Structure 1
């Protein structure tokens, strides 16, 4: 396994490609497009490690299209050794004034979804230090919201019927921005490994999510595609290439 920290030496080696010539060597902020996965499944060939609790380490993902959504499927894999009564942010999409779409592990171990308001909460088995595959589906028309953990679905809930996720925000891993890309709290940060972050602008059928949980890579995600997404890391985040 080749481990590559996001440093300028990796740019020179061809592992990362800066998108802006104005970035100076003193700035620990590099935008890069992940390499093709070769013979490795795209969900497993690369991952991001957040090594420590901090208010400064994060990753911004650049979506392929604006997050103007009346339905979505969001999937990711993560492993964390964080224990105790601690909130853990798993995914954040923030516009200027609102937490448009946040996914959390709550202090009591439940998983939750917040769409610009009070959340929907899901009782799930304890998620230990081994990698788990988590998916969420939501549609505005009916409000039906379902959480999947390792291919198994929760009881569906009716949540935010008639709502729409608004465009113009930033997708963040590792931190919960309480304002537009700022006001982070270390005690809410993610510590561990995240990979396989994919998002579609529609609800995938249950059988598709079950296949995804086994590592099948059969459908290009049209909002966030882990195989091609542009990533902007800040702080001590480390990129691991498993090719």
Structure 2
């Protein structure tokens, strides 16, 4: 009985039914699997605009997911996918995607990424370590409706279906999501971690989450 109680105590900190402040913490995904992921819980279910920012650290040279949101209508409602080339990304909106390149995604170093999209004009953009890409057009006047499944660690090929070859291996921190386009000055403040407005959809400083599989929540320490 004592062993059972001990195991439950270890699991509970990775299942937050109430908001937790994860400032100066990171999720570590130490192995390539089709299981390990962190679901980020939210009450929002309608999006006319999106901004997602995150900080990641990996040595993966293969393609891998950085952020994945599905809804009832779209397997890839909003997603950031790093492709094999060191400076190239796919940004998915409502199951369509854009190709962005030109900024190096560094191995074994913290990378600061943001992606924005506005349904009003269809403009989307990515920011890599404080540098913006060219704005491009995707899904103008689209509205993302329905209860979303938002996660890091796995590429959702369907609502809950994963592929090992596209999983994330490494560390991830400071994941925020807004239901509007974050102004460029706010994005710059996020990049330097100074006085930015936390996400109103997903807020790393008040995060409700469920971690599944081998995922370790730990202090960032001096590597950040």
> How many corresponding residue pairs?
212
**2:92 pairs with 1:114:** yes
For normalisation by structure 1, the TM-score amounts to 0.81
* Cα separation, 1, equivalents of 2:199 and 2:21: 15
Question: Please, which of 141, 147, 163 is the counterpart of residue 120 of structure 2?
Answer: 141
Answer yes or no: is the 8 Å Cα contact 2:115–2:127 preserved in 1: yes
Unaligned ranges ≥5, structure 2:
1-6
1:39-83 CA-to-partner distances (Å, cap 9, x unmatched) read xxx3xx1110000111111110102x3141111211000011011
In structure 1, stretches of 5+ residues that fail to align are 1-6, 17-28
1:30 equivalent to 2:3? Answer no
Equivalent residue, structure 2, for 1:207: 185
Which of 104, 109, 128 matches 2:81?
104
Instruction: Give the structure-2-normalised TM-score.
Output: 0.87
Distance 2:92 2:15 in 1: 29
- 1:22 — aligned with what? none
Structure number with higher helix proportion: 2
1:168-190 Cα deviation digits (max 9, x unpaired): 121111111222212x1110000
Q: Is the 8 A contact 1:67 1:223 kept in 2?
A: no
1:220 aligns with 2:198: yes
CA separation of 1:242 and 1:8: change in aligned 2, threshold 3 A:
farther
CA distance in 2, matches of 1:67, 1:197: 18
SS in 1 for 2:113: strand
- Residue 167 of structure 1 corresponds to 146
Query: Residue 61 of structure 1: which of 40, 43, 54 is its match?
Result: 40
| Structure-2 residue corresponding to 1:89 | 65
> In the alignment, which of 98, 108, 111 is matched to residue 132 of structure 1?
111
CA distance in 2, matches of 1:36, 1:169: 22
Q: Is the 8 A contact 2:96 2:138 kept in 1?
A: no
